[in-house]
Amino acid sequence: MIPGPVEFEPAVMRAVGMATTSHVAPAFIEAFGHSLEMMREVWMSPSGQPFIIAGTGSLAMDMAGSNLTEAGDNVLVISTGYFGDRYAELLKRYGADVTLLKAATGDAVPVSEIENELRRKRYKLLTFTHVDTSTAVRVEPEPIGKLGEKYGVLTILDGVCSVAGEEIRQDDWKIDVALTASQKAVGVPPGLALMVVSGRAMEAWRNRKTPVGNYYCDWSNWLPVMRAYEERRAAYFGTPAVNLVAGLEVSLGVILSEGMETRFARHRKLAIEFRAAMKNLGLKMIPLSEELSAATLSAPWYPEGVEGSAFMKAISESDVILAGGLLPEIRDKYFRVGHMGSVTGGDILTTVASIANALKSCGYGSGI
């Protein structure tokens, strides 16, 4: 029950465990092409250009960032935690002039503040983290996508902790890049960087004046490969992660057969139930309100008197695996519980029971 890698479907693991084929084998070409097509449905972006690249979520951030920024570009980074801060650092490497709008811990940056900033200065690009995995704060993407359209600013949604778990309607919400990694709600072991890019962002990339400052990430290298596989032709730039792509085809199929609306609703319902149980135990969450809380993970503060190290030790002796804190300034004051992917009500119950027992063994809540 950590926020990634999550537990994977047995069918996905069977596909990942297949005998590795050539990347130009007909069955692999089909798996790759079919996965690209299904990504458009999962992202709800019929008009977008999908990319499947060997690498992690940070590579997806790097790819979107390096292709869409040139030295001197003004970029607005909206940070709700650790991964927003990472995006600011990453973009500086490409010479971007970065302005960071940082929310207080547990809060989001108000849309009005973002709009004021866009009015104040001409930006080329804006990034935000849909769900920051360090705080469990969820940002509403739709108003930000619409602001991007209004002010002619490209928008990148870091959806590493959201795609295929939180509601995303990329085309309707005018999000230019929605990026993720395989190991969370997409349900495939770590090692794939995934993103869907709008026509507007591809156009901005085509109109660059300088070459992309990262050779591996350059869309010039990868776009022909994605196009070829979708047309069921082989192509090569770098060897694809053959087994992971086989797993991706199975997992995207599982996701689409559940149905996106059902999947969003299941994640939201389990998250609400989990937090209600935490509240009953007297625990408070980092996000300041339920509206700011993710469907994919929760981040409870340790209650008064409970030591993080003692709690994590007690949990490690239980049936569930949880994650400790990540945000440096409060690392020892909270823990994180992922509830995404194939998670069930039974998993939530077991997790709640383990947390209650661990708290009790730390001397908390004699009434539990």
Residues of the shown chain interacting with ligand PMP in the complex, contacts defined by CB under 6 A: 4, 56-58, 83, 129, 132-133, 158, 160-161, 181
Nearer to ligand PMP, 3 or 33 (CB): 3
| Min dist. Cβ of residue 321 to ligand PMP (A) | 15
Nearest-angstrom CA–CA distance, 210 and 128: 25
Whole-angstrom CA distances from 290 to 90, 162, 313 are: 30, 16, 29
- Rounded to a whole number of angstroms, the minimum distance from the CB of residue 293 to ligand PMP is 15
CB of 140 to ligand PMP, least distance (A): 16
Measured from the CB atom, is 28 or 43 closer to ligand PMP?
43
Q: Indicate the residue among 4 and 48 with the shorter CB distance to ligand PMP.
A: 4
For the chain, the residue count is: 368
What is the separation, in whole angstroms, between the first and last Cα of the chain?
22
Of the two residues 161 and 278, which places its CB atom closer to ligand PMP in the complex?
A: 161
- Find the shortest distance in angstroms from Cβ 219 to ligand PMP: 19
Task: Name the closest residue to ligand PMP (Cβ).
Answer: 57
User: To the nearest whole angstrom, how small is the minimum distance from the Cβ of residue 119 to ligand PMP?
Assistant: 28
Minimum Å gap between C-beta 105 and ligand PMP is 16
Q: Choose between 70 and 166: whose C-beta lies nearer to ligand PMP.
A: 166
Which token pair is 353? 């029971």
At closest approach, how far in Å is the CB of 264 from ligand PMP? Answer: 18
Closer to ligand PMP by CB, 75 or 161: give it: 161
Minimum distance from residue 3 beta carbon to ligand PMP (Å): 7
C-beta of 24: minimal distance to ligand PMP in Å?
Answer: 27
70 vs 132, which CB is nearer to ligand PMP?
Answer: 132
Rg (CA), the chain: 21
Q: Which is nearer to ligand PMP, 188 or 314 (CB)?
A: 188
Q: Which is nearer to ligand PMP, 132 or 167 (CB)?
A: 132
Per-residue HEC secondary structure of the chain comes to CCCCCCCCCHHHHHHHCCCCCCCCCHHHHHHHHHHHHHHHHHCCCCCCEEEEEECCHHHHHHHHHHHHCCCCCEEEEEECCHHHHHHHHHHHCCCCEEEEEECCCCCCCCHHHHHHHHHHCCCCEEEEECEECCCCEECCHHHHHHHHHHHCCEEEEECCCCCCCCCCCCCCCCCCEEEEECCCCCCCCCCEEEEEECHHHHHHHHCCCCCCCCCCCCHHHHHHHHHHHHCCCCCCCCCCCHHHHHHHHHHHHHHHHHCHHHHHHHHHHHHHHHHHHHHHCCCCECCCCCCCECCCEECEECCCCCCHHHHHHHHHCCCCCCEECCCHHHHHHEEEEECCCCCCHHHHHHHHHHHHHHHHHCCCCCCC
